[in-house]
């Protein structure tokens, strides 16, 4: 499933053609994705100007002039592509052919910017929902989300407070969207490796008895910032389904230190250990037992 860097990459790709433009035509080409579309889904979108395009955790959020917000989630296989009349892909260098997998083109927005924005989702685990902005605080999909890991409020002190009494593993705590929003399996594995912390470590060890951050917490927050920013610059990670809006693949997977590298030599300078894999909370965990403690 796309994680924060992939969703942020998509947001940046859509922003130039969506933000400030009017939705001239909105089409829902089937009655549902993961969930049924609202009966007034198209009516609340068509003719509306997108005043801003943001991201919250793994959600895209398009602010509309009406006071509504279009909430969009990519699911496991969802992707957006931008098509212009001259077939020039924008932004990006590589064109994603208009007809590819067209049977799975489930939603279309025709924008006054001159672009068609198509949402393609073969597995239909993605979803879209229109919500009144003044109701966002009560929206079940959003109300329990923790802080943004790249936001100003997220620091070692905040992470230490969130983990102070947790007996769960450090990896499980980081995957808890109530602790920090937007992190997934790939980037948690990568951040733990870069901070040299074991995924099996008890989460409470990030905090002193007084609730102050330990050196572990400081290293981990720094690693989270670094790995997310590096991944965004690389356009995210393309393992199976992720594409940028231009059709271009992300390439951060070429920079993985441990993820999907079972049996290979650890890339930590001077370590010489071997990357291992084990199942943790139903997910594959990749780590180096020699340098992650």
SS (H, E, C) 145-213: CCCCCCCCCCCHHHHHHHHCCCCCEHHHHHHCCCCCCCCCHHHHHHHHHHCCCCCCCEHHHHECCCCCE
Among candidate residues 85, 103, 138, the one where a domain is terminated: 138
Q: What is the mean pLDDT of residues 256-266?
A: 95
If you ran DSSP here, which 8-state letter would residue 281 be given?
T
**Spatial CB neighbours of 152, under 8 Å, sequence gap ≥ 6:** none
Among candidate residues 72, 107, 138, the one where a domain is terminated: 138
Query: Each residue of 10-29: pLDDT tens digit?
Result: 999 899 999 999 999 999 99
Residue 135 has pLDDT above 80, yes or no: yes
- The answer to whether 123 is annotated as binding is yes
The count of structural domains within the chain is 2
Any domain includes 146:
no
- Which ranges of 19-165 would DSSP assign to H, the alpha helix? 41-45, 156-163
160 in the same domain as 134: no
Please give the helix or strand (H or E) that residue 231 lies within, else none.
helix 215-233
Contact 23, 11 (CB under 8 A): no
133 in the same domain as 162: no
Contact 170, 204 (CB under 8 A): no
Neighbouring C-beta atoms of residue 16, cutoff 10 Å: 16
Any domain includes 224:
yes
CATH of the domain at 113: 3.20.190.10
**Spatial CB neighbours of 148, under 8 Å, sequence gap ≥ 6:** 56, 57, 154, 181, 182
* SS3 state at 122: coil
- The answer to whether 104 is annotated as binding is yes
Any domain includes 147:
no
Residue 185 has pLDDT above 50, yes or no: yes
Strand partners, 68: 132
170 in the same domain as 101: no
Residue 79 has pLDDT above 50, yes or no: yes
At residue 3 the predicted structure's pLDDT band, cuts being 50, 70 and 90, is confident
CA distance 213 to 216: 8
121 in the same domain as 53: yes
239 in the same domain as 121: no
At residue 242 the predicted structure's pLDDT band, cuts being 50, 70 and 90, is very low
Long-range contacts, 138-145 (Cβ 8 Å, 24+): 139/71, 141/59, 141/71, 141/73, 142/56, 142/59, 142/71, 144/177, 144/178, 145/56, 145/57, 145/177, 145/178, 145/181
- Domain residue limits at 23: 4-138
264 in the same domain as 162: yes
Q: What is the mean pLDDT of residues 34-55?
A: 98
Any domain includes 81:
yes
| Total residue count of the chain as it appears in this document | 293
11 in the same domain as 48: yes
214 in the same domain as 124: no
Quote the mean pLDDT of the chain: 90
Residue 146 has a pLDDT of: 96
Residue 247 has a pLDDT of: 54
Any domain includes 151:
no
Contact 123, 77 (CB under 8 A): yes
CATH of the domain at 198: 1.10.8.50
CA distance 5 to 185: 12
At residue 76 the predicted structure's pLDDT band, cuts being 50, 70 and 90, is confident
The proportion of the chain whose per-residue pLDDT surpasses 90, expressed as a percent, equals 78
Q: What is the mean pLDDT of residues 115-144?
A: 95
Bigger pLDDT: 97 vs 256: 256
Any domain includes 244:
yes
161 in the same domain as 68: no
Any domain includes 149:
no
CA distance 154 to 225: 10
Query: Each residue of 269-291: pLDDT tens digit?
Result: 999 999 999 999 899 999 999 99
Any domain includes 172:
yes
133 in the same domain as 18: yes
CA distance 151 to 163: 18
For the annotated catalytic residues, the residue numbers are 2-3, 58, 283
120 in the same domain as 15: yes
Strand partners, 111: 23
CA distance 70 to 236: 23
127 in the same domain as 166: no
């Amino acid at each position: 499933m796309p994680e924060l860097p992939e969703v942020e990459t998509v947001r940046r790709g859509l922003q130039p053609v969506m933000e400030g433009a009017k939705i001239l035509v909105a089409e829902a080409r089937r009655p549902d994705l993961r969930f049924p579309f609202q009966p007034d889904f198209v009516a609340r979108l068509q003719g509306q100007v997108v005043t801003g395009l943001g991201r919250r955790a793994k959600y895209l959020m398009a602010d509309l002039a009406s006071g509504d917000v279009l909430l969009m989630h990519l699911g496991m296989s969802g992707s957006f592509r931008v098509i212009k009349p001259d077939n020039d892909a924008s932004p990006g260098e590589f064109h994603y052919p208009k007809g590819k997998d067209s049977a799975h083109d489930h939603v279309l927005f025709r924008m006054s910017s001159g672009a068609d924005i198509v949402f393609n989702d073969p597995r239909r685990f993605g979803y879209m929902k229109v919500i009144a902005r003044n109701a966002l605080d009560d929206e079940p999909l959003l109300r329990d989300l923790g802080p943004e890991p790249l936001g100003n409020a997220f620091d070692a002190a905040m992470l230490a407070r969130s983990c102070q009494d947790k007996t769960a593993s450090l990896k499980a705590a980081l995957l808890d969207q109530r602790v920090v929003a937007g992190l997934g399996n790939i980037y948690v594995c990568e951040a733990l490796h870069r901070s040299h912390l074991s995924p099996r470590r008890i989460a409470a060890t990030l905090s002193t008895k007084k609730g102050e951050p330990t050196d572990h917490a400081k290293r981990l927050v720094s690693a989270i910032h670094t790995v997310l920013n590096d991944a965004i610059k690389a356009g995210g990670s393309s393992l199976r389904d992720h594409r940028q809006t231009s059709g271009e693949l992300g390439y951060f997977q070429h920079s993985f230190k441990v993820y999907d590298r079972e049996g290979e030599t650890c890339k930590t300078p001077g370590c010489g250990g071997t990357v291992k894999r084990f199942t943790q909370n139903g997910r594959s965990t990749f780590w180096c037992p020699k340098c992650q403690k």
